[in-house]
């Protein structure tokens, strides 16, 4: 756009000014013919020019719109935020790529995909959604990768770190009984202990039965432990559980062990028999002939293999039978029973032996139980009587006709 001063008394053009997009006016080079260099932004730009003559009279403002478009395509810039940045395997992490940008495309057009462990394998398909969620199954420091694609197929990528932290286990146990004496075998059960990552089964367990701060068992995965106290007292039994990440927790429970009351224990239980029943060994016995100085409160079941020592496997409180499901077909087991009263444990019975049938033998007892036989005989007799009665009635009718 040339400049001119067409008035009757012309002074000529004094200067020309230019501005872009409503910015500050800048002096152009030249007058009637002029040039100016300006900075454009991407997209449409409004360029305005005005002149002034020697009298100080301004011209009208002339305008032109210029579009500034890049000749090539530029890659997008990937950016995202993670919420939260630290959690556990129970946390649902949210990743928001809305802060990604592109010189040509609006963010809504940009496509995203995610590699949640940065293992080189993308875990989502391309999508224009900007937010993704993820729950991690293993505690770890994890790099999350975002890749962004613009409408021209150019890529941008970035990585952020999130922390999936291990949580300590919870130690819990029960004691049975919680009060006994020096002959009592206390059973402790840590089955209720849990861990968010490992569950209960993955935990290691150890025990300090007398609460003296020194562990009395090594770490192992058995949930149950038994202990008999050597001196009367109240003991703070301690359990420690450890998870696979090395985190631990401790629980304590008080049990009381009293000295046995003075008196005489019961004599040996009698009539002890052991029989195989449906892949278990069932042991039955009768009370001892002498209960000693106090009533019998329970029985202790000792078990051993074909040879060697018998060890305590269970205690009943009144029941005269014990079913052992922890047996192997074909193996031989020996059982002995001891009665317990407040004076302690009496002598055990002589061991009885049972040979478990091997796996594919038919059940040993198929005979009809003796006490059912009279009923079967009575039923057969009844059927016979009804048959005779009917036969005789038909004979009577035939004679009458
Ligand atoms: Ca682009
Ligand atoms: Ca992956
Ligand atoms: Ca854990
Ligand atoms: Ca100890």
pLDDT, one tens digit per residue, over 33-66 is: 999 998 887 667 899 999 998 888 889 999 998 8
List the one residue out of 243, 166, 253 whose CA is nearest residue 205: 243
Q: In angstroms, how far is the first alpha carbon of the chain from the final one?
A: 142
The Cα 318–Cα 298 span in angstroms is: 5
User: Has domain 174-258 been given CATH number 3.50.50.60?
Assistant: no
CA of 124, nearest ligand number? 2
Residue with tokens 């019998």: 296
Mean pLDDT, the chain, whole residue set: 90
Residues near 345 by beta carbon (within 8 Å), at least 6 away in sequence: 183, 265, 300, 338, 339
- 236 CA → ligand 4 middle, Å: 10
Q: Which of 49-58, 244-253, 372-381 has the lowest mean pLDDT?
A: 372-381
User: What string of DSSP letters covers 109-130?
Assistant: T-EEEEETT-SSS-SS--BS--
- 110 CA → ligand 1 middle, Å: 9
CA of 136, nearest ligand number? 2
- 118 CA → ligand 2 middle, Å: 6
Band of residue 400 on the pLDDT scale cut at 50, 70, 90: low
Q: Report yes or no: 173 and 207 within 8 Å, Cβ to Cβ.
A: no
**pLDDT at position 135, please?**
97
- 88 CA → ligand 3 middle, Å: 10
What is the rounded (10 degree) CA torsion for 126, 128, 133, 139?
40
What is the mean pLDDT of the segment spanning 107-114? 97
Q: Report yes or no: 256 and 336 within 8 Å, Cβ to Cβ.
A: no
* Both tokens assigned to 184: 């009592």
Q: Please give the residue that has the higher pLDDT: either 364 or 294.
A: 294
- 211 CA → ligand 4 middle, Å: 5
- 232 CA → ligand 4 middle, Å: 15
CA of 194, nearest ligand number? 3
- 97 CA → ligand 1 middle, Å: 16
- Regarding beta strands 233-242 and 298-304, do their DSSP bridges make them parallel or antiparallel, or are they unpaired? unpaired
**pLDDT at position 211, please?**
94
User: Does the pLDDT at position 327 exceed 70?
Assistant: yes
CA of 245, nearest ligand number? 3
**pLDDT at position 54, please?**
85
- 102 CA → ligand 1 middle, Å: 5
The Cα 266–Cα 260 span in angstroms is: 13
Q: Please give the residue that has the higher pLDDT: either 361 or 31.
A: 31
CA of 237, nearest ligand number? 4
**pLDDT at position 43, please?**
62
**pLDDT at position 386, please?**
80
CA of 122, nearest ligand number? 2
What is the rounded (10 degree) CA torsion for 193, 194, 199, 205?
-40
**pLDDT at position 4, please?**
74
- 166 CA → ligand 4 middle, Å: 29
Residues with C-beta atoms within 5 A of ion ligand 3: 166-167, 195, 197, 243
- 78 CA → ligand 1 middle, Å: 12
CA of 121, nearest ligand number? 2
CA of 116, nearest ligand number? 2
How many of the other CB atoms lie within 10 Å of CB of 276? Answer: 20
- Domain 81-164, second-level architecture: Sandwich (2.60)
- 302 CA → ligand 4 middle, Å: 26
User: Does the pLDDT at position 353 exceed 60?
Assistant: yes
Fold designation for 270-355: Immunoglobulin-like (2.60.40)
- 141 CA → ligand 2 middle, Å: 14
- 124 CA → ligand 3 middle, Å: 29
């Amino acid at each position: 756009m040339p400049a001119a001063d067409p008035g009757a008394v012309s002074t000529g053009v004094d200067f020309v000014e230019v501005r872009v997009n409503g910015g500050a006016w800048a002096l152009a080079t030249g007058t009637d013919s002029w040039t100016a260099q300006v900075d454009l932004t991407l997209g449409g730009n409004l360029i305005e020019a005005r002149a002034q003559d020697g009298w100080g009279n301004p011209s009208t403002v002339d305008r032109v719109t210029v579009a500034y478009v890049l000749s090539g395509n530029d890659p997008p810039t990937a950016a995202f935020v993670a919420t939260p940045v630290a959690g556990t395997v129970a946390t649902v992490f949210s990743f928001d790529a809305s802060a990604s940008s592109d010189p040509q495309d609006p963010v809504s057009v940009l496509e995203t995909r995610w590699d949640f462990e940065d293992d080189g394998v993308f875990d989502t398909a391309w999508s224009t959604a900007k937010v993704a969620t993820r729950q991690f199954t293993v505690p770890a420091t994890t790099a999350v990768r975002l890749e962004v694609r613009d409408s021209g197929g150019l890529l941008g990528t970035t990585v952020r770190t999130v922390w999936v932290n291990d949580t300590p286990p919870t130690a819990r146990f029960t004691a049975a009984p919680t009060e006994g004496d020096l002959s009592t075998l206390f059973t402790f059960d840590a089955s209720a202990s849990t861990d968010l990552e490992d569950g209960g089964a993955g935990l290691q367990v150890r025990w300090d039965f007398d609460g003296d701060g020194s562990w009395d068992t090594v770490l192992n995965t058995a949930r149950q432990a038994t202990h008999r106290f050597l001196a009367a007292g109240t003991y703070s039994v301690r359990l420690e559980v450890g998870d696979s990440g090395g985190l631990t927790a401790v629980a304590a429970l008080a049990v009381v062990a009293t000295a046995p009351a003075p008196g005489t224990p019961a004599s040996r239980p009698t009539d002890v028999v052991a029989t195989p029943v449906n892949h278990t060994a069932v042991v039955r016995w009768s009370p001892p002939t002498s209960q000693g100085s106090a009533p019998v409160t329970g029985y202790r079941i000792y078990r051993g293999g074909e040879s060697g020592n018998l060890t305590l496997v269970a205690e009943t409180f009144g029941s005269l039978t014990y079913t052992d499901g922890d047996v192997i077909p074909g193996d031989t087991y020996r059982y002995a029973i001891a009665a317990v009263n407040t004076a302690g444990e009496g002598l055990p019975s002589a061991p009885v032996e049972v040979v478990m049938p091997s796996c594919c033998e038919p059940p040993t007892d198929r005979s009809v139980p003796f006490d059912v036989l009279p009923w079967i005989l009575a039923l057969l007799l009844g059927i016979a009587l009804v048959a005779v009665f009917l036969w005789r009635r038909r004979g009577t009718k035939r004679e009458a006709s």
